[in-house]
């Protein structure tokens, strides 16, 4: 009886599973994803970036030459009849003029005469010729026919003014005329002057003996007075002639000083010198254009044709409070796809403490166009970024080797990195060149997702004032 009861109870009990197999799998996946999400929210570092706009040009490396006066621009481009080409040719008197301008009061009139004659001869026969300035802007790497280089002291432009040129010529003619007058007077009256001096000496020597004869009664006072008058007349004739020579000498010195002043004024107002070794980025005016005082003539770069290492990046007021020295920057030339080629790696090298207005940037960058592009809202902060360069020591060693396989590989390669370190291994479509605008991403810090979520929740719930509202009230939007 007991066995039957036990067997009946055992037969009536059925094991029932609370969760079937698919539900268990789904639950496990959900729990795993939830745990992974929680771990990601609390631990995953997400970089916080701010944007800026940079220029692939050396910091303070651009300079604009402006016209010192009103006149026509003469750029030293000369047509070579033998080669049939237009070449940039600095005048032969360039260094003399630069030295004359630099030395100031140390200049002498002989050098002034020679230099004046050379300048007038250069301007008398107009040696400059028209040329397409686009062929000579920026050099081969940016489409120009060739790079126009200049050295310290080179005459890079002349502002031709007929009145100033004529004034310089008149001062030279006046000096030459006064010198000729002095020489002619000296040549014509040289013999008569010598005779007059001899007569003066003889008559003067006769006065003492005649005075003794008058005292002894052998000569009259009348004879003595007549001899004295003759000696005085001879002395006056000599003095008159000597005074004329002295007047001409004074006139020569005056004309010498006038020529030095006129030449100094001409060089100051009409000649534009290169202050340092540079090359032309662009010509703002064309050959023989009429310009006013302060008109831009050309923009040059002080650095060599090699790419710059420290470039300016401009950020707004909000981003300026988040950047700091040493932060990493990725700079992608505008027009390049960041997802395709990435960007040039760099680090912030220094910070400008105060914002620059568009007017200030126009002077600092020597370009109103660049100033308006980088500062569309009126003011920006400048961040100086040092671009990372490739280690060229190994490349130079390989290039100097006699490995023919490497030389063939080097010839076949098309490296468009420009010598910079990029954040990926893609090859840009073209090598970056000076003047490119750079879309810059500055990594300011890293935050976890939960750290980014909590401030947003506070702003939504009203526990904290929205950051955008604060900036709007402070006119920082």
Residue 170 lies in domain: 62-302
**What per-residue confidence (pLDDT) applies to 315?**
92
**What per-residue confidence (pLDDT) applies to 396?**
45
Torsion of CA 359, 361, 364, 368, to 10 degrees: -70
In a domain, 33, yes or no: no
- For residues 293 and 347, membership in a common domain is answered with no
Count of other CB atoms within 10 angstroms of residue 431: 17
- For residues 237 and 173, membership in a common domain is answered with yes
Domain boundary among 281, 302, 323: 302
Paired with 440 in beta bridges are 52, 331
- For residues 279 and 134, membership in a common domain is answered with yes
In a domain, 265, yes or no: yes
- The structure's pTM equals 0.58
- For residues 155 and 108, membership in a common domain is answered with yes
- For residues 230 and 122, membership in a common domain is answered with yes
The per-residue DSSP string of 41-86 comes to HHH--EEEEEEEEEESS-TT-EEEEE-SSSEEEE--EEEETTTTEE
Summarize the chain as % helix, strand, coil (round to 5): 50, 20, 30
- Encode the chain (477 residues) as per-residue pLDDT tens digits: 455 545 545 555 555 555 566 776 677 777 777 776 766 656 666 778 899 999 887 766 677 888 999 999 988 887 777 777 777 788 889 998 998 888 765 667 788 889 999 999 888 766 667 776 666 665 444 444 566 888 888 998 999 988 898 999 999 998 888 888 877 776 666 555 555 555 556 556 555 565 655 555 555 555 555 655 565 565 556 566 667 777 777 888 888 888 888 898 999 999 999 888 887 877 888 888 899 998 888 888 775 544 467 889 999 888 888 899 889 999 999 888 888 888 999 999 888 888 888 888 887 776 778 888 888 888 899 999 989 887 644 544 544 444 545 444 444 457 788 888 898 888 888 888 777 899 999 988 877 776 667 676 666 776 666 665 545 444 555
- For residues 187 and 143, membership in a common domain is answered with yes
**What per-residue confidence (pLDDT) applies to 345?**
92
- For residues 272 and 321, membership in a common domain is answered with no
The domain that holds 428 is classified in CATH as 2.40.30.170
Q: How far is CA 162 from the centre of its chain?
A: 30
Buried b (16+ CB within 10 A) or exposed e, 223-259: ebeebbebbeebbebbeebeeeeeebeebbeebbebb
In a domain, 78, yes or no: yes
Domain boundary among 270, 302, 334: 302
In a domain, 21, yes or no: no
> How many domains is the chain built from?
2
């Amino acid at each position: 009886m007991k066995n039957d009861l036990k067997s009946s109870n055992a037969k009536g009990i059925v094991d029932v599973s609370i969760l079937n197999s698919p539900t268990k799998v789904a639950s496990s996946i959900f729990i795993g994803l939830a745990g992974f999400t929680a771990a990601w929210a609390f631990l995953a570092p997400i970089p916080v970036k701010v944007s800026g706009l940079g220029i692939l040009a050396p910091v303070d490396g651009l300079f604009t030459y402006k016209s010192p006066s009103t006149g026509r621009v003469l750029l030293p481009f000369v047509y070579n009849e033998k080669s049939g080409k237009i070449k940039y040719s600095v005048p032969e008197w360039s260094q003399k003029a630069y030295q004359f301008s630099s030395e100031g009061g140390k200049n002498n009139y002989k050098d002034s005469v020679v230099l004046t004659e050379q300048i007038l001869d250069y301007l008398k026969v107009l040696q400059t010729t028209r040329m397409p300035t686009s062929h000579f802007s920026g050099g081969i790497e940016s489409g120009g026919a060739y790079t126009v280089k200049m050295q310290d002291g080179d005459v890079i432009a002349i502002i031709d003014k007929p009145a100033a040129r004529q004034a310089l010529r008149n001062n030279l003619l006046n000096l030459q005329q006064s010198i000729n007058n002095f020489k002619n007077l000296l040549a014509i009256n040289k013999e008569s002057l010598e005779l007059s001096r001899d007569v003066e000496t003889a008559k003067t020597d006769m006065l003492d003996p005649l005075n003794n004869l008058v005292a002894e009664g052998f000569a009259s006072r009348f004879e003595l007075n007549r001899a004295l008058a003759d000696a005085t007349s001879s002395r006056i004739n000599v003095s008159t002639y000597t005074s004329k020579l002295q007047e001409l000498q004074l006139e020569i010195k005056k004309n010498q000083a006038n020529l030095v002043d006129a030449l100094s004024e001409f060089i100051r107002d009409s000649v534009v010198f290169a202050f340092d070794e540079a090359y032309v980025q662009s010509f703002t005016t064309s050959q023989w254009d009429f310009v006013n005082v302060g008109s831009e003539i050309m923009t040059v770069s002080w650095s060599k044709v090699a790419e710059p290492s420290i470039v300016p990046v401009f950020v707004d007021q909000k981003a300026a409070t988040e950047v700091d020295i040493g932060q990493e920057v990725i700079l992608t030339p505008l027009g390049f796809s960041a997802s395709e080629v990435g960007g040039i790696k760099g680090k912030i090298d220094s910070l400008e403490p105060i914002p620059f207005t568009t007017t200030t940037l126009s002077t600092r960058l020597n370009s109103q166009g660049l100033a308006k592009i980088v500062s569309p809202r009126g003011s920006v902060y400048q961040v100086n970024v040092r671009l990372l360069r490739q280690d060229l020591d190994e490349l130079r060693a390989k290039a100097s080797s006699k490995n023919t396989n490497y030389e063939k590989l080097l010839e076949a390669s098309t490296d468009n990195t420009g010598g910079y370190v990029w954040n990926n291994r893609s090859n840009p479509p073209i090598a970056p060149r000076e003047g490119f605008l750079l879309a810059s991403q500055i990594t300011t810090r890293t935050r976890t997702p939960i750290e980014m979520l909590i401030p947003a929740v506070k702003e939504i719930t009203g526990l904290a004032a929205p950051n955008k509202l604060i900036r709007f009230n402070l006119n920082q939007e």
